[in-house]
Structure 1
Amino acid sequence: MISPRLVMIHASAGTGKTFRLTNRFIALLAAGAAPERIVALTFTRKAAGEFFDGILGKLAQAAASEERAAALARDVGRPELRAADFLRLLRAMVDALHRLRLGTLDSFFAKIAQAFPFELGLAGDFEVIEGHAAARERERVLRQLFASGGALDDAQRDFLEAFKLATFGTEEKQLARRMDKFLDEKYERFLEVPAPVHWGVAGVIWKTGQPWLDEVAPAVASAALRRWLGGGAEMTDEQRARWTRFATELGEWSVGAPWGDEMAYFLPKLLAVAGALDGIGAVLTIERKKQTLDVAGGAALREVVRAVAGGELRKQLAMTRGLHAVLARYDAVYSALVRRAGKLTFGDVTRLLRPDAGARALSFGAADEEGRLMLDYRLDAGIDHWLLDEFQDTSRGQWSVLQNLIDEVVQDPEERRTFFCVGDVKQSIYGWREGDPTLMGDIRRHYNGGDDATAPIATEPLDASWRSGPEVIAMVNAVFGASEVIAELFPEETSRRWTRAWREHRTERGDRAGQAAWLFAEDDAERHATTLRLIREIDPLARGLTCAVLTRSNRQAAEIADYLRREGGVPAVAESDLQVATDNPLGAALLALVQAATHPGDTLAWEHVRMTPLHAALTAEGAGDREAATARVLAQIAADGFERFAEHWSARVAPAGDFTRERARQFAGAAALFDVQGRRDPDEFVRFMQEYTAREPESAEVVRVMTIHKSKGLGFDVVIIPELEGTKLAASPRGLVVARDDAHEPEWVLELPKSELVEADPVLSRHAERAAGATCYEALSLLYVAMTRAKRAMYAITAPVAAKSRSHNYPKLLAETLGGDAGAVRVGGAELSGAWVVGAADWFSGIGREADEASAPAITALAAPAVPRRVARRPSGERAGERSAARLFARDEREAVTFGAEVHALLAGVVWCASDEIEARAAAWQAGGASDAAISEVVGCLRAPALRELWTRTAGAEVWRERSFEVVLDGAWVSGVFDRVVVVRGPDGRVAAATVFDFKTDRISGEAAEVERAVARHVVQLNLYRRVVARLAGLPESVVGAEVVFTALARRISVPAAS
């Protein structure tokens, strides 16, 4: 039929995986296989589309040219084929289009479930929900859980008590938001491991016991510690004083509370020697001096460890059991309301098809083993050939669905059926979506045993790059082939797996001369500037070269794209998810109109509409007042739907400029997607549009700025990687974890305690080491993906690495593998700071393209606006006084900006806060990774008597926090964000007064003169805020207060109204 019949390809980046897959498919067609009996599956819809296009494109080209037919015939091993033969194969493909099985694993599984709904326990046909639809179903389930006509019923009380246990009593005002985040983080874990026996059961986790779990009260441990201290234990006065403070703090501590300074000092030391406390001779370093413990000291400190470590572990066990109770209750309601109504996510479908868990995980009545085998038999009867792409991203759950079917192909006695699998475990960057890079090796060993030479599945490496030139490959080999460095920097598990997967790369594109370099820049500003300088020097777009800037987050991508456009005039596009319905004035105005029509009491939305051209359009149609507009809009939506509504009012305001016209088109397109669901709920429409995202179309005429994840599978002539800073790659696990055995079966589930306790416990530390190794491997894979996108030139930009740096991050890896001292690196005529370079500085000088006068650029200048462009103002820019350039760009100034942003973020999370809630908030912020300095400053503000009024709820009061606004004042377009506005409504529900509070983290003394000068700097800004609030709330400025709050002083000062 075709040889080899069974093959597994271990590929590398740019080595032609898609080329091999498409040729394999065509070879099967040429050998007589019916198109519909071939299954070709990959990981993403985009990759599936490229696969489909590649097959049809090759067949069409070969059918049209004998020369191309001969080339394709050689590639597929059938030199006798002619153009007429490929035309016949093309016709067979086109005739079978509706029966083809080319797509993603998710879509293939959905088709199986649709074909066998009753066998899988479904009531009949179902729909796959994702995105907005899935979020709305979750809301519906939560409403059902909390629905009450009065008192809570027993089930609701049980649910809330379980939730309190799961969050260890942390109270939260915004329960819905907290529940949503809670489910995002935890629910998938429950679906992976639904059985309660795995959740927070000490005997399952510690099979030989955990002595810390013997319950000891902190007060008892504190007393034991004091007895030891009072018994004549030898130590210095400084040590005794410190031990005494520790004993006092321990006696006042309770499980779940944050560790104080002394506990944070002593407990890591005690945990490090916990195993030696049973005897004599344990040594601690206290106050910079060694102290050897006697028997009494060891016994007292064992009590301390049991009180604290044991208390924390018992708390985590209880929390984990509480989590399971919450998730099980939610899942029961979700299954009843959503799944049994025929609404499944892609994850649900996969779990439904899994023979190991199957319908049981989804609260369905699972088919018996014989019934499942019959389902597989019917599937197997219609499939002869399997092609699996990007296999390193496949999960074990997905493989379990396919395994029985692949077994049949491998064991085919007639050797007529085939299996083809390709993957690159070095590009495994989807572990967070359960992609498992170890699966490919496990499958090979499962079928082949220990001897690949005589095994049924042939294995083949692909290491020759058809993408990257010699300079890029040289840098890739230097970094990723340095096995000794990788072994030194990263966990043993990471090093072992990477070394086993790595093969020296070579290039088939020796003609692609270029350059690869490691460059230096101290901070974000310098890295952005270096990126711009490289683009200006190479000028890739003018030379017909594609160019990409790769980042690790969408936020970084947006910042860099904005910088390139603003500072350099570079046509750069951030290929992140764009909020096309809300990132422009027209979309925001249309949503405000829907909101105002649906909620007559929403004066903010109506005032928004009045300040836009929409109001003039409404007036022209006789709907200029609130009541008429409400009737007009709601009647139009009910009759015509949201798409027609959007098209109608967009046309009435005649948006100027290409950007706004494109957004109007995208808004209407999104509205059409909502209409397809058959709904007319305006509130749901607004939520849908606020969450809707789209991507800019790809174009070679722009610099593309994207995340490394989005770049996977793509190639660019020039690649710049400016965002490689960060912490160590082997990050320890946090939160809810699932520990698995060597067979990848779940062993236990636990909400992990503090990292100090994880490191000290043998069972938890083993899991943490394995998880850190997997995380590090994925991080290494991410850098490999980034560096192998380049065809000709690649530039990595980091801060210089100190010689004595002990970091285990990307810059350290580059320093250890590329080496070299800082020096000059030439790129064209530019001289940049760096440490490593290969290739000619002017590699691009001979590259150009002939001008094509007929082609239009992908990004054109915006048309002249139909109305005069308004001057833009930002209240935060309205400051009095001067600041020196040296101070503005000083390191202290940058650190102050970062600190201020963190303080503002914490304060933005406070709606109201009673005095007895402050400690819980501080603990939650600390657990969330906020800095101690920011927490201290915010807690000081919450406790300060002078500021208590800000956080105390009063009758009729509501809070705006971090509320952004756009408004026209005095002919200028004013944009900004309120830190905090307290709006007070009167008995009639109308807004009666408001106060703007603006938080300032200025480091000033409390001297009256300096405070007065600081207030003066912000008077203009606060008065502008006062005017904006007055406009938005429909109030006279006289009843709008404005106060500046200096967080460092915990003082509030009223700003007088402008005369």
Structure 2
Amino acid sequence: MLGKDEDFTFLTHLIQKGAVRSINNTLSRIINDIYKVYLEVPEDGWGLEKKELTSQFSIELVLKRLEQAAAKIQHKRAVEALQKAIEDIKAHNFAAALTKGVLGAVLNGKETYCNKAIPVEAQTAAWDLFNYYTYNRLEELNRHLQSLYDVLRRYHHYYLAVNYSEGILSFEDVKWFLFREKILGNLEEVYFRLDCSFSHILLDEFQDTSRLEWWLLMPIVEEVLSKAGKENVFLCVGDLKQAIYGWRGGASDILRDIPKIWSYVAEEQLTKSWRSAKAIIEFVNYFFSALSRSEVLSMYSSAISKWEHSFSPHTTAVKEEGYVGIYFVENKDDEDATPLEQVIPLIKDIINSLPTSSLSIAVLCRKNETASQIMYELLKAGIQCTSGGSSPLISSYISAAMLHFLKALEHPEDSIAFYHTKKSLLGKVLGIKEEDRAFNSEQILNFKKEIKRKGLDRFLNNIYEELLRLGITEQESLKVLSLIRLARKWQGANSSYTLCDFIKFVENSPIKEEGGGNIEVTTIHQAKGLEFDVVILPELFFKLSAQLPSYFVKRKSSAQKGEKIIPRPDNILRLADKEIDNVVNDYQQRQFLEELSVFYVAVTRAKYALYILLSDSRQGKVLNWTKVVRELVGEAESKKGALIKSWGDSLWFKKITSLEKEDKKKESTRVVLKNLLRDFKGKRKSIYLLDEISPSQLNAVENPFLFLEKAKVGGKAEVKGEAIHLLLAKVFWMEE
């Protein structure tokens, strides 16, 4: 399918991004993204501008000049650097020679190395090698891009053929079909088919709109705006500061550009918060207005300029003062502790210091893995919490071992599945010996008979009981119980199935990790649109500058189609081609702008209190929020393991009158419910005995709606209503 083996290798690395995955899974996951680029970028955009060699190039001549330079420059380190460059060039490792030592200094515009003037021979050799390298690298990338385009063209034809033969279209297919066929360019035909036209358009969360969606909507918006008035209105609502979905196609710059596209569209900023207390708003204004003063963020000046243009100081309608505390923590007892291990004890201390029964508390993380780790540690410490996110059961060690076991039963020749089963705790439960290499036919037959007799869920539950005796963590226990529930659900819906079918079902079934309580451990993205009395931010040590993608798309503006695809370049190519460098830099600025938005979303989830935990990351030059926050809040008060800056009162929860009112309201509701239940059927000691009322007992009572209407209950109407609502909800549950 491809011209040469190295072309296929390039394509494989391009779609894998260096990860070790199966080719099938990688193609399924990544091909959709690059296929969208194929649909957007025209064929003439699949190639880079070629460079011409300015002079006749000779490796021998370059080596000779470097040897002459080494003889001239009288400095040990400089000579060693030149000798290393000579070795790299002889090994045809040109990139290494050009990015380090004397030649790297030349390309970076320096005239000295180790305080010694760089000989002209070395400068000439550096630029000759630079031109030769960029010429060949561009030729190589162009050949690979053409191969990639050919693959995608064939994929496109096969994909359409399969869609038409099967009569299947995804929602994304419909969008691209409308765009490709320019159907929305003829609105009269569209309105004729719909048997109506549009006069009012409302677009919410507009900062997350994708380019494709906007290309389809734009003709309709233009048509409505051309008749703008009371009868024709275009309203889009969005917040550039909350644009956190660029990774899945959101193009926030479209919202920023709307006033440029239509100058007569009025723009109104909403800067008053109806959620956050005064201290939180003071921190937001302090931090997000000071970004331009940061030295560690100097490389993101363009992104910060855009942010400041869209950011206005906030005010709040909330009367409570609230609290923001910034803590710098360090584990002095264990110098090798990870940043996460450093902050977990403080998370526990903060939670234990709060009246948790009256508060909603969120621990917001950047990554799912971090949330799972923190949840596990909290549960282990006896702090009940729940996960707002979901994760596949295969992320659990024990659950994954169970699935390997089922796979080994279905495919005895699968030595990998058997190996994982044997090496896990499951191996002990099943009595697998170290010398065993697979299940024998008798073992497989017995296991399958047991599954058929008991059912898969009961079979797995028996294994789970044995695992409990051996000792598994509470987190693993929760995952195994979820696996058993999935088995029950699966066999109830599938009268005939194979174990492999069940494995596929599990692999595609995310679960919500539950531990109880009103403390939620989740990611910032999953918390968007939610609010919590208390927010704790523990993961500010992650690297802000993400890895560059495998390819970039050049476009004139955010709302326009892509003009050219550019494979990820090295630093030498960026130096050689200003256009490529600008595209990469623009991507990096947008990525940082999104990280700013993620941090803004995180801090503005808090209603009353925000705890920001900074850890001694020991990551050297790695840029993270820990460094930025410490720089902007100042180091004068900084003591490791202590509060370094705060706003508001640390005993804020004692001054929040709304919490007291909420507690009194809950107690009133509880009393009313208790009285209702006592009159409903005999005397009851506690509201919690509601579960003891059976449907047969309910039948002996007169119509419950008529009874509730007649009931004489003290308290406000709001409390009565809530009591009745809760009662009826319970009755529905019991009938179910």
TM over 0.5: yes
Query: Residue 515 in 1 paired to residue 323 in 2?
Result: yes
Structure 2 Cα separation of the partners of residues 171 and 788 of structure 1: 36
Structure 1 Cα separation of the partners of residues 87 and 427 of structure 2: 63
Gap change, CA 1:735 and 1:553, over 3 Å in 2: same
Structure 1 Cα separation of the partners of residues 442 and 593 of structure 2: 61
* Aligned position for 1:197: 43
**Secondary structure at the residue paired with 1:201?**
coil
Structure 1 Cα separation of the partners of residues 42 and 403 of structure 2: 48
Q: How far 1:497 moved relative to its partner?
A: 1.3
State the one-letter code of the partner of 1:423: G
Structure 2 Cα separation of the partners of residues 486 and 350 of structure 1: 42
Gap change, CA 1:790 and 1:175, over 3 Å in 2: closer
Query: Residue 469 in 1 paired to residue 287 in 2?
Result: no
Superposition TM-score, scaled by structure 2 size: 0.74
Structure 2 Cα separation of the partners of residues 249 and 314 of structure 1: 21
Find the partner of 2:108 among 266, 269, 272.
272
Q: How far 1:561 moved relative to its partner?
A: 1.2
Find the partner of 1:841 among 650, 654, 664.
650
Check the 8 A contact 1:732/1:771 in 2, yes or no.
no
State the one-letter code of the partner of 1:272: N
Find the partner of 2:150 among 290, 300, 325.
325
Q: What runs of 5+ residues in structure 1 fail to find an aligned partner?
A: 1-154, 204-208, 274-282, 359-365, 450-454, 616-622, 637-643, 826-831, 858-1059
Find the partner of 1:503 among 283, 290, 312.
312
Q: Kindly indicate whether structure 1 or structure 2 has the higher relative contact order, using CA contacts under 8 Å at least 6 residues apart.
A: 2
Give CA deviations for 1:816-838 in whole Å, capped at 9, x if unaligned.
Answer: 4322523579xxxxxx6122111
Check the 8 A contact 1:573/1:704 in 2, yes or no.
yes
* Identical aligned residues as a percent: 22
Check the 8 A contact 1:614/1:653 in 2, yes or no.
no
* Aligned position for 2:88: 249
Check the 8 A contact 1:385/1:417 in 2, yes or no.
yes
Check the 8 A contact 2:73/2:79 in 1, yes or no.
yes
Structure 1 Cα separation of the partners of residues 213 and 376 of structure 2: 40
Gap change, CA 1:731 and 1:670, over 3 Å in 2: same
Q: How far 1:466 moved relative to its partner?
A: 1.0
Gap change, CA 1:627 and 1:751, over 3 Å in 2: same
Find the partner of 2:25 among 180, 191, 213.
180
Pairing 1:362-441 to 2, within 5 Å after superposition: 366=181, 374-379=189-194, 381=196, 383-412=198-227, 415-441=230-256
Structure 2 Cα separation of the partners of residues 732 and 604 of structure 1: 36
Gap change, CA 1:501 and 1:382, over 3 Å in 2: same
Pairing 1:122-137 to 2, within 5 Å after superposition: none
Q: How far 1:555 moved relative to its partner?
A: 0.9
**Secondary structure at the residue paired with 1:333?**
helix
Structure 2 Cα separation of the partners of residues 183 and 537 of structure 1: 48
Check the 8 A contact 2:178/2:184 in 1, yes or no.
no
Gap change, CA 1:611 and 1:769, over 3 Å in 2: closer
State the one-letter code of the partner of 2:511: A
Give CA deviations for 1:668-726 in whole Å, capped at 9, x if unaligned.
Answer: 335667x5xx9956434423323421224697x33211111111111111111011124
Query: Residue 536 in 1 paired to residue 356 in 2?
Result: no
State the one-letter code of the partner of 1:692: S
* Aligned position for 1:736: 551
Pairing 1:11-26 to 2, within 5 Å after superposition: none
Gap change, CA 1:175 and 1:306, over 3 Å in 2: same
Structure 2 Cα separation of the partners of residues 428 and 814 of structure 1: 21
State the one-letter code of the partner of 1:722: P
Gap change, CA 1:604 and 1:813, over 3 Å in 2: closer
Give CA deviations for 1:507-558 in whole Å, capped at 9, x if unaligned.
Answer: 1111x332101110133322111111111112x423x100011111111111
Give CA deviations for 1:942-966 in whole Å, capped at 9, x if unaligned.
Answer: xxxxxxxxxxxxxxxxxxxxxxxxx
Gap change, CA 1:655 and 1:419, over 3 Å in 2: farther
State the one-letter code of the partner of 1:285: T
Check the 8 A contact 1:572/1:704 in 2, yes or no.
yes
**Secondary structure at the residue paired with 2:269?**
strand
* Aligned position for 2:506: 689
Gap change, CA 1:386 and 1:225, over 3 Å in 2: same
Gap change, CA 1:780 and 1:387, over 3 Å in 2: same
Find the partner of 1:717 among 530, 533, 537.
533
State the one-letter code of the partner of 1:534: I
Pairing 1:651-666 to 2, within 5 Å after superposition: 659=478, 663-666=483-486
Find the partner of 2:370 among 553, 556, 579.
556
State the one-letter code of the partner of 2:389: S
Structure 2 Cα separation of the partners of residues 326 and 721 of structure 1: 45
* Aligned position for 2:705: none
**Secondary structure at the residue paired with 1:316?**
helix
Structure 2 Cα separation of the partners of residues 524 and 353 of structure 1: 48
Superposition TM-score, scaled by structure 1 size: 0.53
Q: Which structure: greater strand fraction?
A: 1
Moved more, 479-488 or 489-498: 479-488
Q: How far 1:773 moved relative to its partner?
A: 1.1
Pairing 1:981-1020 to 2, within 5 Å after superposition: none
**Secondary structure at the residue paired with 2:318?**
coil
Query: Residue 546 in 1 paired to residue 360 in 2?
Result: yes
Structure 1 Cα separation of the partners of residues 170 and 140 of structure 2: 33
Gap change, CA 1:651 and 1:824, over 3 Å in 2: closer
**Secondary structure at the residue paired with 1:420?**
strand
Q: How far 1:738 moved relative to its partner?
A: 1.1
Gap change, CA 1:839 and 1:243, over 3 Å in 2: same
Structure 2 Cα separation of the partners of residues 173 and 480 of structure 1: 35
Find the partner of 1:489 among 295, 298, 307.
298
Equivalent residues, number: 631
Give CA deviations for 1:983-1039 in whole Å, capped at 9, x if unaligned.
Answer: xxxxxxxxxxxxxxxxxxxxxxxxxxxxxxxxxxxxxxxxxxxxxxxxxxxxxxxxx
Pairing 1:698-777 to 2, within 5 Å after superposition: 701-727=517-543, 729=544, 733-742=548-557, 744-759=560-575, 761-777=577-593
* Aligned position for 2:444: 626
Check the 8 A contact 2:106/2:123 in 1, yes or no.
no
Give CA deviations for 1:72-128 in whole Å, capped at 9, x if unaligned.
Answer: xxxxxxxxxxxxxxxxxxxxxxxxxxxxxxxxxxxxxxxxxxxxxxxxxxxxxxxxx
Superposition RMSD in Å: 4.3
Give CA deviations for 1:19-59 in whole Å, capped at 9, x if unaligned.
Answer: xxxxxxxxxxxxxxxxxxxxxxxxxxxxxxxxxxxxxxxxx
* Aligned position for 1:351: 176
Q: How far 1:326 moved relative to its partner?
A: 3.1
Check the 8 A contact 2:65/2:122 in 1, yes or no.
no
**Secondary structure at the residue paired with 1:259?**
helix
